[in-house]
Each structure stands twice: as C-alpha cells, then as structure tokens.
A and B are shown apart, each in its own frame.
Chain A
Amino acid sequence: MLKILDFFDYAKSESLWMAHFCTGCCSLEMAAAMGPRYDWERYGYLPTPTPRQADVLMITGLVSKKILPALLRTYAQMPEPKYVVAMGACSFDGGPYNDSLSVIKNPTEILPADVFIAGCPPKPEAIIEGLEQVKQKIKNGEPSAASQGGLWKEMEF
C-alpha cells in the first residue's frame, strides 16, 4: 500500500503543469523555454489553459498593482498541492522598476514563492533549473511556501 502511495507522490513531483498567466516581460523567455531549442516538455512541464488543472503558478516578472488581485485569484483557483515560482528580478524586489510608482516591489511577501529564478529576464536554462528545484522540493515532501504564510491569507479578493 505504501508503495502505491509513494508512486503517486513521485508522479506528482514529476508532472508539473503551469497556469497560463503572464504578468510581465519574462513570459517571453518562458515561451523560448517551450520552444524547440530548450523544450521544457522533455522534463514533463506543460502549460495548461486554465488554473484549475495547474500545479505551478509562475510569476513572470513584474507584478503591477493592477494585476495583483487577478494573480491572487488565479492562485486561489488552483487545486492543492500548488506551488509558486517567482521569475526574474522584478518579482524579488522590483528589479529595474524598483523606483516605479506602479509596481509592487515585494510581491513574494504577499504571495510567497517556493523558488526564485534570477535574471532579467532569466535565461531558459535557468527557468528549467528553477522548475527542477520545485520538483526536488516536492520529492522532499516540503510544503509550499505560500501555504505557510504570506499576506495573501489576510486579504479578501
């Protein structure tokens, strides 16, 4: 019995589907990661049209103030277990838009991310490496960061 459950846990870690949600420029490199040269489908990643079937929410770059409610709602629509990957400098501290008056500098304080991928925009190899780390995290049985805390729990959206 335990073996069967282990198999399903392993299956969860090896099959990550992304919610299709782009908040910023990094989605361009995400498209390149899907493309022929990098082809992230080799590792089993697949974009899905609706968040209902997704396992991973990718914050692709900056999060502007206006898109934040939609981002949180997309996260809420995903089924458990779900993970968040923050791409690019912008999702860490605002990056090149740190001085901008319309970009949220600390989106991961609101929605904590499991993995940060560095770069502006991150190269496709880095994106794949970041997602491999999510796999590792699931294999280790760690709970997702967003389920542990974050301002999103206190907000109504």
Chain B
Amino acid sequence: MESIKKLLEKFSCEYVEDYKKTWIKAKLNSKEDLLSLGEVLKTEGLRSLSTISPTDFLDADVMEVNYFFEDLDTKRNLWLKVDLPRDEESCEIESLTPLFPSAEWHEREAFSMFGVNFLHHPDLREIIKSEDFTGVYPFRKDFDWDAHEKNQVQNVQQIVDAFKKEQEENEVDLDPDSSETILNWGPTHPASGPIRLRVHCDGEEVISVDPDIGYVWRALEHLVTKKDFVGAIVAVERLCFMDNINSMTAYALAVEEIAGVEITPFAKWMRVLLGEVARVSSHFMGLGMFFNNMGLHTLAMWNMDTREFFLDFLESYSGARIATAAVEPGGVRYGLDMVMFDELQKALDKFDSSIGEVEAVFVKNPTMKMRAHNVGRLSGDEVHQFGLSGIVARASGVQTDIRIDEPYDAYSELDLEYITQERGSAQDRFMMLFAELKQSIEIIKKAKAHIEEKVASEEMNPTKDHMVKVPKKLPKGEAISRVEWARGEVLMHLVTEEKAKSPYRLKMRAPSFNHTMMLNYLLKGRTLSDIPLIFGSLYICQGDLDR
C-alpha cells in the first residue's frame, strides 16, 4: 500500500487517503497525468481496471470520472478520481484501453451513457443503448427524459427502422467473391438468450465475433435514482434473478457505510446464509446451462429438481421463490421463524443424496472432457489484463475471492479457502462451478449451525434482531462495496447528496460485462460448435450484462 502512495506522490493529487483496508482513494488534479500514472500503476502490479464510473455533478458543473484499479494478487486497490468539464465538447480524456484491455467496453459504456469522449480509443462505438438514444446521453442529469418519452411512437419507429436497415445492410461490406458470411447468433437463438453475436464466419470457421448487447437494458442505474433507498433494492435485485441476494447485499453495504450503521450479527449471518442459497441456485442453473449448450438437457433437469428445494426455503422465508427482496439496508427484511430451517434441511438432504449421481454421470463424463478440455483457455495473465473475476478467474489459477480478500458480513468468521483450477479451459470452469457448489453447501451448513446455536443460547433473537433502523435521509457521501457474486465481483459505487432520499448515482460493475468482452478473443479461429460451449462456460447472464 505504501508503495502505491509513494507512486502517487510524483503526481499532483488533491488528496491521497486510505479507504477501508484494501483501498487507496486519490484524486488527480490534472487529467493529463492519467496516462502516465496508468503506465506506472501497471508496472506496479495493478493490472486490472475494474470499471469506470462517471458521476455527473450538475450543480458543480463537473463530470467526475472514477477509475477502480485492482491487483488481484496482492489485493491492493486504487480508487482514482479525475474531474472533467461537463460540456459535451470538452468532456474528453485519454483512453486507458491500450494499457488496460479491460477498459475497452467500460469506456464505451461511459461514452454512451455520459458522453465522456475517450481519445485514442480503438473502437469507440455506442454500446447497450437502443437507437433512439443515438447522440444523446441518457444518464446525464440534464437529459430531458419526459420530452424524450413523449415521442415514444417515433422512438420505437426509429428503432424498428434501424433494425430493418441493419438487416438489409448486414453483408454489404463483405467481399462478394469470398465465402465469408455473417450469422446472427441471437437474440432469438435457442442458446443465446437476449444477446446477439454477429459471427463472421467462413463455413464452420469463426473469423470474428462482435457482440451486440443491450436487449434487456433496463437502465437500472438510472432507475434507482428515482426510488428511495429501500425501494431501490427492487431495481438492484433485478440485476440478475439467478443470484439476486448478493447484489442486494452489495447495495445494502454501500448504504450502511454512508449512513454509518452497523448491523446485528444475526443479520450478518442471515445474509451469508441467504447469499449462499442464492449462489447455489445460480450455480445449479450454470451447471445445467453448460451441458444444455452441448445438447444434453438431463443435467439441467436433475439440477432443477434439487434447486426447487432451495427455492422452497427462500419462499418460506420471504414469500417469493425468486424475487425475494430479502436483504435491505439495515439487515435482512424478515425475521426468521426457526421452523423455516426445516425446509432448508430438506434441501440440504436432497442435495447430499443427489450430488453423487451428478458427479458420476456428468462431472466425470468422458465426452464432455473431450469437448471442453482444450477449448476457451485463459491464462492467469489474461485474467489480470481483462479484469475477469469469479469462477472464470479462479479456473485459471488466480486466487481471487472477495469473500476472503475483503470479507464482508460474517464471512470473516468463516475459514474459507481459495478453490482454484490450473488450466483455465471450459472444462476447468465447469469443475470450478461444481467445486464451488459444494463449498457453498458447506457454508450454508456452517451458517445454519451457527444461527441455531446462538438462538438456542439466546444470544440472537431471530424475530427481532433482523433489522436496525437506517435513516430515510442520508448525508452527503459516497461509498464503494464489493461482494463475491455468483458470477464474480460486483462493485457498487454509490453517491448521495445532502439529505438525499434517493441515490444520486449508483454504478453497478457486473462481471458478465467483462466476460462477454472475452468472446471475440476466445472464439477467433475456432468453429461454430465452440460458440455455445464457450458462451456457456463463461457463465454469462444477460441481466447483469446490460443492467
């Protein structure tokens, strides 16, 4: 940490301060220093750029750009701020993409949503947005949404026209004598979900892949600013329904930090318990999808069978199978009736009795190994460069897990160990999912035993301890929080104004965004058969890809 501070001394900074245990927060005075600072940071070891989050301060007439640099090895992180002028002409800064490949799409996103112009970016096209926003920047605070909304029929027609035009001109640029064509892999493709990959291919061989995303763009980051701090969890949990608890936890952590609230031990343990249940149900889907994408539906069905029991527990706890809204700032939403643990015990028993056959038939499946053994390999170095996280990073042997690196809630009281694989292939990512599934079950068992013990000794009161009061109006401040989500690292950057009732800005850094960036890199030169396999092994959810 000290060495980073020493590096920053060479540049003129407004302030350099410690933040949490693993972060340094600094603000550059001049945007010209950014590129040279980036070079220095890269040699220092902070090789991943986690995300870029502009904040539009309308009153101060300033566009503040936040960079989050991470070192996955030594767990040192830097939160760097730079001020830019707000007006659209001069709101520009040097691109970091040549130094940090992971910045590419994040800069495109910042450009699309805020109009920050990144100079010398290799491919600065608009991303995520639909065509009616072309040339306007919807996340800027002075964007007139009501006026835009009045023309809804025209807007829709504009999108439809653009769609038609794209379909007609799809292959105009191609050489008519070559056998190269463009395949639209999605958004109605059986394995794609709402994402479209423009696959340039020559027969079976893939030349390049250009992902077109934004088909489930709900502008969640904009939506939360219209809701109050509790209501915002409705938007936050819809980041991705497969694992919604942990995203709510991330948001709640950020709010609690600004409000200065410490939650009860019971709520902490409940968050761990619920979060792991959600992780299990997500991993079940992920394992099933992996085999689905190779044309085998049996594993998905078997997993669905077990998953239902975990959803039963969520339903008995919160009343909803999926949209639980169970975690909110201040703790967890509902008290716990100890009878509910019977449902959980049923689910755990079901898991224990059924995991053996899954392992025998699918994890050791020779055909799967033949397919996936050498496909989609990522080295540890690439993980650092592209800022990958979660199972994708750990499958390549990088020891990163927010639950251990920066323990939140009750994770510090659990002795967790890094689970990693060596080779970083699609098969390894599948194995990672399976290993983490088992790990999560162990955590659930520990958390359950802990809560039961403390309740029995009356140190915890499950019906009263679940919430502490969080004020409705928060002070001015900002915070970041990171959690280990089912798919990887979720980073939330929350900014509040004085006596605010709703968030001023919430940036959600979701792992699928980085992972989808890898598709072109991994698929170049491979065959069409590898597209669904690699796509499935990267464990992408379109919900958190588009947000």
Contacts and interface: CB of A to CB of B under 8 A. Distances in A.
Direct contact of A and B (CB under 8 A): yes
Interface of A: 19-25, 27-29, 31-32, 34-37, 49, 51, 62, 64-70, 72, 74, 96-97, 99-104, 110, 120-121, 123, 155-157
Contact of A36 (B129, B148, B217, B301): B301
Given A66-B214, A69-B160, A25 B543 contact: yes
Nearest to A94: B218
Interface of B: 129-132, 138, 145, 148-149, 155-157, 159-160, 163-164, 187-188, 190, 193-194, 214-220, 222-223, 226-227, 234-235, 238, 240-242, 285, 300-302, 304-305, 307-308, 311, 321-323, 543
Question: Across chains A and B, which 4 residue pairs bring their CB atoms closest together, nearest first?
Answer: A35-B304, A69-B163, A66-B130, A36-B305
14 contacts: A27-B193, A28-B285, A32-B304, A32-B308, A34-B304, A36-B301, A62-B218, A64-B130, A69-B159, A70-B215, A102-B218, A121-B322, A121-B323, A156-B160
B188 A121 contact: no
Contacts of B214: 64, 66
A72 B311 CA distance: 34
A32 B315 CA distance: 14
Nearest to B215: A67
Nearest to A104: B156
B323 A100 contact: no
B305 A35 contact: yes
A31 B304 contact: yes
Contacts of B130: 64-66, 102
A24 B187 CA distance: 12
* Interface SS of A by simple majority: loop
Nearest to A105: B152
B231 to A, nearest CB: 10
A72 B305 CA distance: 34
Contacts of B131: 66
B217 A37 contact: no
Contacts of A37: 304-305, 308
Contact of A156 (B164, B285, B307, B323): B164
B149 A70 contact: no
A68 B218 contact: no
B304 A36 contact: yes
Q: Which of B187, B216, B226 has the most CB of A within 10 A?
A: B216
A102 B311 CA distance: 30
Contacts of A28: 241-242, 285, 322
Contacts of B187: 21, 67, 70
A101 B222 contact: yes
A68 B188 CA distance: 12
A49 B226 contact: no
A107 to B, nearest CB: 10
Contacts of B163: 69-70, 157
A24 B129 CA distance: 17
B149 to A, nearest CB: 7
B126 to A, nearest CB: 12
Contact of A74 (B155, B188, B222, B242): B188
B459 to A, nearest CB: 37
A72 to B, nearest CB: 8
A70 B195 CA distance: 11
A102 B321 CA distance: 26
Given A69-B160, A155-B157, 8 more contacts: A28-B242, A66-B130, A97-B218, A99-B223, A121-B322, A123-B321, A155-B160, A157-B164
Nearest to A60: B194
Q: Which of B130, B188, B241 has the most CB of A within 10 A?
A: B188
B164 A51 contact: no
Q: Which of A31, A49, A72 has the most CB of B within 10 A?
A: A31
Contacts of B543: 25
B217 A66 contact: yes
Given A99-B223, A121-B241, A51 B160 contact: no
B308 A22 contact: no
Given A37-B308, A65-B132, A102 B219 contact: yes
B536 to A, nearest CB: 14
A28 B185 CA distance: 20
Contact of B138 (A19, A101, A104, A110): A101
B188 A20 contact: yes
A99 B308 contact: no
Contacts of B302: 36
Contacts of B222: 100-101
Contacts of B194: 22-24, 67
